[in-house]
Structure 1
Protein backbone atom coordinates (compact mmCIF):
# COMPACT_ATOMS: atom_id res chain seq x y z
CA UNK A 1 0.00 0.00 0.00
CA UNK A 2 1.64 3.13 -1.25
CA UNK A 3 1.64 6.52 0.45
CA UNK A 4 2.31 8.02 -2.98
CA UNK A 5 -0.47 9.52 -5.06
CA UNK A 6 -2.16 6.80 -7.16
CA UNK A 7 -1.49 8.78 -10.35
CA UNK A 8 2.21 7.99 -9.89
CA UNK A 9 1.70 4.23 -9.89
CA UNK A 10 2.16 2.31 -13.11
CA UNK A 11 -0.68 0.06 -14.25
CA UNK A 12 0.66 -3.01 -12.44
CA UNK A 13 1.35 -0.98 -9.31
CA UNK A 14 -2.14 0.51 -9.24
CA UNK A 15 -3.87 -2.84 -9.70
CA UNK A 16 -1.66 -4.54 -7.11
CA UNK A 17 -2.29 -1.72 -4.64
CA UNK A 18 -6.06 -2.06 -5.15
CA UNK A 19 -5.92 -5.80 -4.46
CA UNK A 20 -3.64 -5.42 -1.45
CA UNK A 21 -5.84 -2.67 -0.03
CA UNK A 22 -8.96 -4.83 -0.42
CA UNK A 23 -7.14 -7.54 1.52
CA UNK A 24 -6.20 -4.99 4.18
CA UNK A 25 -9.85 -4.07 4.47
CA UNK A 26 -10.72 -7.74 5.09
CA UNK A 27 -8.01 -8.02 7.72
CA UNK A 28 -9.25 -4.93 9.55
CA UNK A 29 -12.77 -6.36 9.52
CA UNK A 30 -11.52 -9.66 10.94
CA UNK A 31 -12.51 -11.58 7.80
CA UNK A 32 -9.20 -13.32 7.09
CA UNK A 33 -6.38 -14.99 8.96
CA UNK A 34 -3.57 -14.11 6.60
CA UNK A 35 -1.81 -10.76 6.20
CA UNK A 36 -2.76 -9.67 9.74
CA UNK A 37 0.74 -8.55 10.67
CA UNK A 38 1.54 -6.59 7.52
CA UNK A 39 3.39 -3.44 8.63
CA UNK A 40 1.33 -1.11 6.44
CA UNK A 41 -1.74 -1.91 8.55
CA UNK A 42 -0.16 -0.17 11.54
CA UNK A 43 -1.09 3.29 10.32
CA UNK A 44 -4.69 2.30 9.59
CA UNK A 45 -5.07 0.62 12.98
CA UNK A 46 -4.07 3.90 14.62
CA UNK A 47 -7.13 5.62 13.18
CA UNK A 48 -10.42 5.98 15.08
CA UNK A 49 -12.17 4.01 12.32
CA UNK A 50 -9.56 1.86 10.53
CA UNK A 51 -12.06 0.34 8.06
CA UNK A 52 -13.37 3.76 7.04
CA UNK A 53 -9.78 4.94 6.59
CA UNK A 54 -9.03 2.02 4.27
CA UNK A 55 -12.28 2.79 2.47
CA UNK A 56 -11.11 6.34 1.86
CA UNK A 57 -7.76 5.01 0.70
CA UNK A 58 -9.48 2.61 -1.72
CA UNK A 59 -11.69 5.44 -3.02
CA UNK A 60 -8.55 7.36 -3.98
CA UNK A 61 -7.31 4.37 -5.93
CA UNK A 62 -10.70 3.95 -7.63
CA UNK A 63 -10.71 7.61 -8.68
CA UNK A 64 -7.34 7.15 -10.37
CA UNK A 65 -8.58 3.97 -12.04
CA UNK A 66 -11.58 5.92 -13.38
CA UNK A 67 -9.27 8.63 -14.72
CA UNK A 68 -7.35 5.98 -16.66
CA UNK A 69 -10.43 4.23 -17.99
CA UNK A 70 -10.04 1.19 -15.72
CA UNK A 71 -12.94 -0.29 -13.81
CA UNK A 72 -12.40 -0.97 -10.12
CA UNK A 73 -15.49 -2.30 -8.38
CA UNK A 74 -16.34 0.38 -5.83
CA UNK A 75 -18.99 -1.93 -4.35
CA UNK A 76 -16.08 -3.80 -2.74
CA UNK A 77 -15.29 -0.78 -0.56
CA UNK A 78 -16.89 -1.70 2.78
CA UNK A 79 -17.09 1.85 4.13
CA UNK A 80 -16.92 4.28 1.24
CA UNK A 81 -16.33 7.91 2.16
CA UNK A 82 -19.34 10.18 1.96
CA UNK A 83 -19.66 13.91 1.45
CA UNK A 84 -21.53 14.15 4.75
CA UNK A 85 -18.70 12.47 6.64
CA UNK A 86 -15.29 13.17 5.08
CA UNK A 87 -12.58 10.70 6.06
CA UNK A 88 -10.15 11.51 8.84
CA UNK A 89 -6.86 12.71 7.42
CA UNK A 90 -3.80 10.53 7.89
CA UNK A 91 -0.15 11.55 8.02
CA UNK A 92 2.92 10.21 6.30
CA UNK A 93 6.47 11.35 6.99
CA UNK A 94 8.52 13.03 4.31
CA UNK A 95 11.14 10.32 4.77
CA UNK A 96 8.56 7.59 4.11
CA UNK A 97 7.31 9.34 1.00
CA UNK A 98 10.87 9.75 -0.29
CA UNK A 99 11.63 6.09 0.48
CA UNK A 100 8.55 4.94 -1.44
CA UNK A 101 9.39 7.23 -4.36
CA UNK A 102 12.85 5.68 -4.66
CA UNK A 103 11.31 2.21 -4.42
CA UNK A 104 8.71 2.99 -7.11
CA UNK A 105 11.38 4.37 -9.44
CA UNK A 106 13.38 1.16 -9.03
CA UNK A 107 10.31 -0.99 -9.72
CA UNK A 108 9.25 0.94 -12.82
CA UNK A 109 12.71 1.02 -14.38
CA UNK A 110 12.56 -2.77 -14.37
CA UNK A 111 8.95 -3.38 -15.45
CA UNK A 112 7.75 -0.31 -17.38
CA UNK A 113 10.50 1.90 -18.77
CA UNK A 114 8.07 4.28 -20.48
CA UNK A 115 6.27 4.87 -17.18
CA UNK A 116 9.60 5.27 -15.40
CA UNK A 117 10.63 7.90 -17.92
CA UNK A 118 7.38 9.77 -17.26
CA UNK A 119 8.05 9.70 -13.52
CA UNK A 120 11.46 11.30 -13.91
CA UNK A 121 9.77 14.53 -15.00
CA UNK A 122 7.22 14.85 -12.18
CA UNK A 123 7.31 15.64 -8.49
CA UNK A 124 6.14 13.00 -6.10
CA UNK A 125 3.20 13.74 -3.82
CA UNK A 126 1.07 11.79 -1.36
CA UNK A 127 -2.16 9.86 -1.77
CA UNK A 128 -5.05 12.36 -1.32
CA UNK A 129 -5.81 10.92 2.13
CA UNK A 130 -2.38 11.82 3.52
CA UNK A 131 -0.80 14.98 4.85
CA UNK A 132 3.01 15.03 4.79
CA UNK A 133 4.81 15.76 8.06
CA UNK A 134 8.56 16.07 8.53
CA UNK A 135 10.30 12.92 9.65
CA UNK A 136 12.29 9.83 8.75
CA UNK A 137 11.05 6.61 7.19
CA UNK A 138 8.12 5.29 9.25
CA UNK A 139 9.07 2.85 12.03
CA UNK A 140 6.79 0.17 10.59
CA UNK A 141 8.52 0.17 7.19
CA UNK A 142 10.65 -2.86 6.39
CA UNK A 143 13.82 -1.74 4.65
CA UNK A 144 15.32 -4.46 2.46
CA UNK A 145 18.98 -4.86 1.64
Structure 2
Protein backbone atom coordinates (compact mmCIF):
# COMPACT_ATOMS: atom_id res chain seq x y z
CA UNK A 1 0.00 0.00 0.00
CA UNK A 2 1.31 3.44 -0.92
CA UNK A 3 -0.58 6.52 0.21
CA UNK A 4 1.61 9.17 -1.36
CA UNK A 5 2.38 12.41 0.44
CA UNK A 6 3.00 13.80 -3.04
CA UNK A 7 0.34 15.59 -5.02
CA UNK A 8 -1.63 13.11 -7.17
CA UNK A 9 -0.95 15.34 -10.20
CA UNK A 10 2.52 13.74 -10.36
CA UNK A 11 1.10 10.25 -10.86
CA UNK A 12 0.60 8.53 -14.17
CA UNK A 13 -2.75 6.96 -15.04
CA UNK A 14 -1.85 3.64 -13.43
CA UNK A 15 -0.53 5.31 -10.30
CA UNK A 16 -3.60 7.50 -9.87
CA UNK A 17 -5.94 4.52 -10.26
CA UNK A 18 -3.88 2.48 -7.81
CA UNK A 19 -3.87 5.36 -5.32
CA UNK A 20 -7.67 5.55 -5.47
CA UNK A 21 -8.00 1.79 -4.86
CA UNK A 22 -5.46 1.83 -2.05
CA UNK A 23 -7.08 4.89 -0.47
CA UNK A 24 -10.44 3.12 -0.51
CA UNK A 25 -8.81 0.07 1.06
CA UNK A 26 -7.30 2.33 3.73
CA UNK A 27 -10.76 3.76 4.39
CA UNK A 28 -12.13 0.24 4.86
CA UNK A 29 -9.28 -0.66 7.21
CA UNK A 30 -9.73 2.51 9.26
CA UNK A 31 -13.45 1.70 9.53
CA UNK A 32 -12.49 -1.68 11.02
CA UNK A 33 -14.04 -3.66 8.18
CA UNK A 34 -11.12 -5.85 7.19
CA UNK A 35 -8.57 -7.94 9.02
CA UNK A 36 -5.85 -7.52 6.42
CA UNK A 37 -3.42 -4.59 6.47
CA UNK A 38 -4.76 -3.42 9.86
CA UNK A 39 -1.26 -2.68 11.08
CA UNK A 40 0.07 -1.20 7.85
CA UNK A 41 2.49 1.60 8.77
CA UNK A 42 1.12 3.96 6.10
CA UNK A 43 -2.06 4.26 8.17
CA UNK A 44 -0.34 5.55 11.31
CA UNK A 45 -0.58 9.19 10.29
CA UNK A 46 -4.31 8.92 9.65
CA UNK A 47 -4.91 7.10 12.93
CA UNK A 48 -3.01 9.85 14.76
CA UNK A 49 -5.73 12.38 13.86
CA UNK A 50 -8.84 13.13 15.94
CA UNK A 51 -11.02 11.59 13.19
CA UNK A 52 -9.23 9.10 10.95
CA UNK A 53 -12.27 8.64 8.68
CA UNK A 54 -12.49 12.38 8.01
CA UNK A 55 -8.73 12.43 7.40
CA UNK A 56 -8.89 9.65 4.81
CA UNK A 57 -11.94 11.37 3.26
CA UNK A 58 -9.87 14.54 2.90
CA UNK A 59 -7.11 12.49 1.28
CA UNK A 60 -9.46 10.68 -1.10
CA UNK A 61 -11.23 13.89 -2.10
CA UNK A 62 -7.99 15.34 -3.45
CA UNK A 63 -7.37 12.12 -5.40
CA UNK A 64 -10.87 12.29 -6.87
CA UNK A 65 -10.33 15.98 -7.71
CA UNK A 66 -7.19 15.11 -9.71
CA UNK A 67 -9.02 12.29 -11.47
CA UNK A 68 -11.84 14.66 -12.42
CA UNK A 69 -9.32 17.21 -13.73
CA UNK A 70 -8.07 14.48 -16.10
CA UNK A 71 -11.57 13.52 -17.20
CA UNK A 72 -11.75 10.30 -15.15
CA UNK A 73 -14.82 9.47 -13.13
CA UNK A 74 -13.91 8.10 -9.72
CA UNK A 75 -17.06 7.37 -7.72
CA UNK A 76 -17.04 9.98 -4.95
CA UNK A 77 -19.99 8.19 -3.33
CA UNK A 78 -17.42 5.66 -2.13
CA UNK A 79 -15.95 8.30 0.19
CA UNK A 80 -17.88 7.53 3.37
CA UNK A 81 -17.73 10.81 5.23
CA UNK A 82 -17.23 14.48 4.53
CA UNK A 83 -13.67 15.74 4.34
CA UNK A 84 -12.75 18.17 7.08
CA UNK A 85 -9.77 19.81 5.48
CA UNK A 86 -7.49 18.34 8.13
CA UNK A 87 -3.81 19.15 7.61
CA UNK A 88 -1.00 16.74 8.41
CA UNK A 89 2.74 17.25 8.61
CA UNK A 90 5.17 15.31 6.45
CA UNK A 91 8.93 15.54 6.76
CA UNK A 92 11.29 16.84 4.08
CA UNK A 93 13.08 13.49 4.18
CA UNK A 94 9.84 11.65 3.51
CA UNK A 95 9.00 13.91 0.58
CA UNK A 96 12.48 13.40 -0.90
CA UNK A 97 12.22 9.63 -0.42
CA UNK A 98 8.80 9.45 -2.05
CA UNK A 99 9.91 11.67 -4.94
CA UNK A 100 12.87 9.39 -5.70
CA UNK A 101 10.62 6.34 -5.37
CA UNK A 102 8.00 7.79 -7.72
CA UNK A 103 10.56 8.92 -10.31
CA UNK A 104 12.02 5.40 -10.39
CA UNK A 105 8.55 3.93 -11.00
CA UNK A 106 7.69 6.50 -13.68
CA UNK A 107 10.99 6.06 -15.51
CA UNK A 108 10.15 2.42 -16.12
CA UNK A 109 6.37 2.54 -16.46
CA UNK A 110 5.62 5.94 -18.03
CA UNK A 111 8.67 7.58 -19.64
CA UNK A 112 6.71 10.62 -20.91
CA UNK A 113 5.29 11.33 -17.45
CA UNK A 114 8.78 10.78 -16.03
CA UNK A 115 10.27 13.43 -18.34
CA UNK A 116 7.72 15.97 -17.14
CA UNK A 117 8.15 15.01 -13.49
CA UNK A 118 11.94 14.99 -13.45
CA UNK A 119 11.94 18.55 -14.81
CA UNK A 120 9.67 19.76 -12.00
CA UNK A 121 9.74 20.09 -8.25
CA UNK A 122 7.63 17.82 -6.08
CA UNK A 123 4.35 19.27 -4.88
CA UNK A 124 2.58 17.88 -1.84
CA UNK A 125 -0.84 16.34 -1.60
CA UNK A 126 -3.08 19.26 -0.54
CA UNK A 127 -3.57 17.91 2.99
CA UNK A 128 0.13 17.85 3.86
CA UNK A 129 2.50 20.52 5.12
CA UNK A 130 6.24 19.93 4.83
CA UNK A 131 8.27 20.10 8.05
CA UNK A 132 11.97 19.53 8.73
CA UNK A 133 13.01 15.96 9.37
CA UNK A 134 14.24 12.65 8.02
CA UNK A 135 12.14 9.86 6.52
CA UNK A 136 9.01 9.29 8.62
CA UNK A 137 9.30 6.54 11.25
CA UNK A 138 6.39 4.66 9.67
CA UNK A 139 8.07 4.43 6.25
CA UNK A 140 9.59 1.10 5.27
CA UNK A 141 12.19 1.96 2.61
CA UNK A 142 12.40 -0.45 -0.29
CA UNK A 143 16.00 -1.35 0.58
CA UNK A 144 14.87 -2.53 4.05
CA UNK A 145 12.02 -4.63 2.62
CA UNK A 146 14.32 -6.36 0.15
CA UNK A 147 16.68 -7.62 2.85
Common topology (TM > 0.5): yes
- Equivalent residue of 1:131, what SS? strand
Q: How many residues align?
A: 141
Q: How does 1:74-85 map to 2 (within 5 A)?
A: 74-81=76-83
Partner of 2:96: 98
Partner of 2:58: 56
Runs of 4+ displaced beyond 3 Å? none
Q: How does 1:93-132 map to 2 (within 5 A)?
A: 93-132=91-130
Q: Give distance in 1, aligned partners of 2:109 and 2:8.
A: 17
Please state which structure has a larger fraction of its residues in helix.
2
What do you get for the CA RMSD once the two structures are aligned?
0.8
Structure 1, residues 63-95: CA drift from partner, whole Å, max 9, x if none? 0000000010000001122xxxx4221111011
Normalised TM-score (structure 2): 0.94
Partner of 1:23: 25
Q: Give distance in 2, aligned partners of 1:4 and 1:87.
A: 16
- Equivalent residue of 2:80, what SS? coil
Partner of 2:134: 136
- Equivalent residue of 2:142, what SS? coil
Shift of 1:121: 1.5
- Equivalent residue of 2:41, what SS? coil
Gaps of 5+ in 1: none
